[in-house]
Structure 1
Amino acid sequence: MRLLHTSDWHLGRSFHGASLLEEQAAAIERIAELAAEHAVDAVLIAGDLYDRAIPPAEAVALFNHALARLSAGGTAVIAIAGNHDSHVRVSVYDPLLSAFQVTIRGDVQRAHEPVLVTPRSGGTPVAIYPLPYLEPAVDGPALAGEPLRLRHEEVTRLAIGRIRADLQGRPNHRSVLVAHTFVAGGTSSESERELTIGNVDRVSVATFAGFDYVALGHLHGAQELDGPRVAYSGTPLAYSFSEQQHIKSVRIVELAADGTPSVQVVPLGVGRPLCTLTGPIEELCTAPEHAAAAGARVRAILTDESLPLQAMARLRARFPHIAELRHEPPQVARASGSERHRQVRQARSPQELTAAFFADQQGRPASAQEAELLQAALRAADKGGER
């Protein structure tokens, strides 16, 4: 049995206001090509199909195209709802699509109902269990049959308990679980939505014991947590600068006759690259070594003492796809909270308070010209208060 594991497409997402739909379409096309090249028996999409519960029409159209493209060669497609998806919306046509070997599972109550996929080479079908994202406050009572306050691990164990009960009746079947959750030991990035406050969203690796392969979604970086058996495929594109060093890929999984998985990680190589440049604006705008970043999405960190005028416009002239600008002047020693309170207590006039605030923000006293501008601003504010 050969599987292609992907996840977290987040169709409809933008990058600092720039649409990613064209790049997402290219990623899906590449995934479809790989599925055909490797003659996979099933494509597993482990949640976060869309970026929000009510996706834009263009994202829905792209997902529909993806399903048609992936299933055209007789490949089974099994997808689940993630924490960004509406469980009801994404799975509304699941009963109809199943006739075409397409499963989009959002109903947690059906997690113990496997999709049985027969390998192209023949033999016993593999039982693939689609387990959508679990919301403890909602799914915990539904699975337990009583109003309980459960953590993510507890509600996951309840759902998997039902799956194991079904699997016991299939002694000769290899088993695959598709799940969307945060497994303890995984490495997160800034672009993932927090599931809970604190670490109560973590689910232990031991929870997934007994499955031949566990195809995970939610974390955006590709990573393994129990050798090749329990793993995240990661996103097909980078969705924040925290993913700048990720190699975006899919996992081609070969299940041996005894269920042992062997994995090939295949980079996708699509999407605009990300680049972070640090230095004064003149250097970034003129240095030859930065020329290669012209085609990338750029995060510029300016180290000029003062933020240059029209900095974004000047940078965009060289880097048309610049997405983020930060100003981090060197050796800025900000006053501590207690020091700021002391300065406020000792300030005897608005002028002194304003000067102290300027020094705290800039890490230096105001120049004569800057002090004159501050004084003018205070005088204008006083006149406004007299009206």
Structure 2
Amino acid sequence: MRILHTSDWHIGRTFHGYSTLDALRGVLGALVGEVRRRDVDVVVVAGDVFDTGTPAASCYTVLTDALREIGATGARIVLTSGNHDNAARLGFTAPLLRDGIHVITDPRAVGAPVTIDDAHGPVHFYGIPYLEPAIVRSVWPGAELRTQEHAIRHAMGLVNADRAERGGRSVVVSHCFAGDVEPTAGVEREIRQGTLDVVPLADFGGPDYVALGHIHGRSRLAENVRYSGAPLHYSFGEGGKPRGAWIVDIGADGVEGVEWMDLPVPRRLTTLRGPLDDLLTDERLAPHEGDWVCAVLTDPNPPLEPMRKLKARFPHCATVRIAPEGGADADRRTFRERVESARSDGELVDDFLAHVRGGRRATDAEREIIGDVVSTREGAEARA
């Protein structure tokens, strides 16, 4: 049996205010082409199908088209919900879907597999939707479920009990934060309090393969426990991470091989750093003019209308950050802390300039002007 492991489609997510629907539709189309070309038997989607619990109608169209096209290749589909999904909404149509498409969103179904046969017999697919401890306590009232680790451990107990009874080969599909993998800053919504909700790798012992979702970069926690990552780049922090899916071959005795399959990147992500004038004129940056661009400006003073100027050369400039050279060693106090500690109006203005200029304080000439203005104001107040 050949399995394609994907996850974190995040249908409906924006990228710095830009819609990603068309790009995702194209990437999923390429995924369907690979399913057909590689004779994939089962496509596993490990959660975060949508980006929000209330997706727009156009998002449902993207999902419907992708499922229909995958189904048309003859492949089966096993799909679970993630923390971004509304499980009830995603699972509402499950009983109405065509044969061969299995949407698992109800924790009460954990431990009851979707069984798909190949030439060597049955392969049992155990879907574990995202388990919010506060919600699943009512499902498993006798279990200790204070953290997601507890919830996954209990779910895997149900899975392994069923595996022991049924026998045969098995695949677990789960959406959680497992092992030592770090989340992408600004992308995965934090699901931990300290380290309480990190699920230990040992909790996934038993199945032949564990298909994980939630982390947006591919990762191998063990030979048979992996994250596939997202099919699109959803932040500049992901820019250097490949996009694709795992192709898993299961033989008579378990996993025989796992291969990475690249998916196309519709538009590259590039971070450019330097003074604004250099970014606008440096010919060496010409290859990046069609990229999504994050511009990190190192000018001593924030330049005027940088986004407008950058877009003239880089039409897909998505974000601008101000990081003056030398700012790394600047005073890290908040502006409120600066205001509260200022001993005079002149010092207050000086602190304000340092705050907005990345640590660069007033020059001697500026201090002279500030002193004149403050003296004039104090004199006017004294005469009032």
Quick check: TM above 0.5? yes
What are the within-5 Å matches in structure 2 for residues 170-209 of structure 1? 170-171=166-167, 173-190=168-185, 191-209=187-205
Q: Which residue of 2 aligns with 1:310?
A: 305
Q: Could you list the per-position Cα deviations for residues 32-71 of structure 1 after superposition, in whole angstroms to 9, with x for gaps in the alignment?
A: 1111111111000000000000111111110011110000
Q: Does structure 1 residue 128 correspond to structure 2 residue 164?
A: no
Assess if the C-alpha contact under 8 Å between 1:112 and 1:129 holds in 2: yes
Identify the residue that residue 152 of structure 2 maps to in structure 1.
156
Against the structure 1 CA distance between its residues 201 and 312, is the aligned structure 2 distance closer, same or farther, given a 3 Å change threshold?
A: same
Q: Residues 337 and 12 of structure 1: is their aligned pair in 2 closer, same or farther, counting only changes over 3 Å?
A: closer
Aligned-residue offset at 1:344: 5.5
Q: C-alpha distance in 1, partners of 2:247/2:341?
A: 65
The aligned runs of 1:105-144 (5 Å cut-off) are: 105-119=104-118, 122-144=119-141
Match of 2:289 among 268, 280, 294: 294
The corresponding residue for 1:234 is: 229
Conserved? CA contact 1:143–1:155, under 8 Å: no
- Asked if 1 retains the 8 angstrom alpha-carbon contact of 2:228 and 2:245, the reply is yes
Q: 1:73 offset after TM fit, Å?
A: 2.3
Question: Aligned-pair RMSD on alpha carbons?
Answer: 2.7
* Structure 1 residues 380 and 142, CA gap change in structure 2 (3 angstroms): farther
Q: Which residue is equivalent to 2:27?
A: 27
| Deviation of 1:337 (Å) | 4.7
Q: Which residue of 2 aligns with 1:266?
A: 261
**Alignment deviations for residues 305-357 of structure 1 (CA, whole Å, 9 cap, x no partner):** 1111111111110000011101111113423659x97996562x323322233
Per-residue CA deviations over 1:361-385 (Å, capped at 9, x if unaligned) read: 43333243587489769989999xx
Instruction: Give, in whole Å, the separation in 2 of the partners of 1:89 and 1:293.
Output: 41
Q: Is the contact between residue 107 and residue 139 of structure 2 (CA under 8 Å) also seen in structure 1?
A: no
* Counterpart in the other structure of 1:365: 361
1:267 positional shift: 0.7
Identity %: 37
Instruction: Report the residue type matching 2:193 in the other structure.
Output: I
CA distance in structure 1 between the aligned counterparts of 2:379 and 2:41, rounded to whole angstroms:
75
The one-letter code matched in structure 2 to 1:143 is W
SS in 1 for 2:266: coil
> Secondary structure, in 3 states, of the residue corresponding to 2:12?
coil
Q: Is the partner of 1:183 in helix, strand or coil?
A: coil
TM superposition shift of 1:184: 1.5
1:169 aligns with 2:165: yes
Aligned length: 377
Q: Which runs of 5+ in 1 are unaligned?
A: none
Say if 2:3 is the partner of 1:6.
no
Aligned residue number for residue 145 of structure 1:
142
- Cα distance change of structure 1 residues 345 and 151 upon mapping to structure 2, 3 Å threshold: closer
The residue type paired with residue 210 of structure 1 is G
CA distance in 2, matches of 1:281, 1:381: 39
Partners of 2:65 and 2:208 in 1: CA distance:
30
CA contact (8 A) 1:253 1:264 kept: yes
Q: Distance in 1 between matches of 2:374 and 2:217?
A: 49
Any idea what SS the aligned residue of 1:150 has?
Answer: coil
Structure 2 distance, partners of 1:217, 1:264, is 17
Q: Check 1:209–1:355 CA distance in 2 against 1; reply closer, same or farther (3 A cut).
A: same
SS of equivalent to 2:139: helix
Tell me the TM-score normalised to structure 1 length: 0.91
Q: Verify the 8 A CA contact 1:351 1:375 in the aligned structure 2.
A: no
Given the alignment, which residue of 271, 281, 291 partners 1:276? 271
Distance of aligned partners of 1:370 and 1:312 in 2 relative to their CA distance in 1, 3 Å threshold: farther
Residue in structure 2 matched with residue 334 of structure 1 by the alignment = 330
Q: Over residues 169-202 of structure 1, what are the superposed CA-to-partner deviations in whole Å (9 max), with x where a residue is unaligned?
A: 222x210000001101223211111113221111
- CA deviation after TM superposition for structure 1 residue 115, in Å: 0.8
| Partner AA of 1:42 in structure 2 | V
Match of 1:245 in 2: 240
Secondary structure class of the residue paired with 1:88:
helix
Q: The residue matched to 1:118 in structure 2 has which SS?
A: strand
Q: Which amino acid aligns with 1:218?
A: H
Deviation per CA, 1:203-246, whole angstroms, max 9, x where unpaired? 1111111100000000001010012x000000001111110110
Residue identity in the other structure for 1:255 = I
CA contact (8 A) 2:176 2:212 kept: yes
Residues 80 and 130 of structure 1 are in contact (CA less than 8 Å); yes or no, is this contact kept in structure 2?
Answer: yes
Partner SS state of residue 225, structure 1:
strand
The alignment partner of 1:142 has SS state of coil
Higher mean displacement: 269-278 or 354-363: 354-363
1:187–1:221 CA contact under 8 A, matched in 2: no
- 8 Å contact from structure 1 (residues 334, 361) kept in 2: no
- Report the equivalent of 1:285: 280
Alpha carbons of 1:260 and 1:356: their partners in 2 closer, same or farther (altered >3 Å)?
Answer: closer
| CA contact 1:175–1:212 (8 Å) conserved in 2 | yes
Corresponding position of 1:104 = 103
Q: In structure 2, what residue type is equivalent to 1:74?
A: G
Aligned-partner Cα distance in 2 for 1:285–1:307 = 15
C-alpha distance in 2 between matches for 1:95 and 1:140: 25
CA contact (8 A) 1:26 1:270 kept: no
* Unpaired stretches in structure 2, ≥5 consecutive residues: none
The aligned residue for residue 322 of structure 1 is: 317
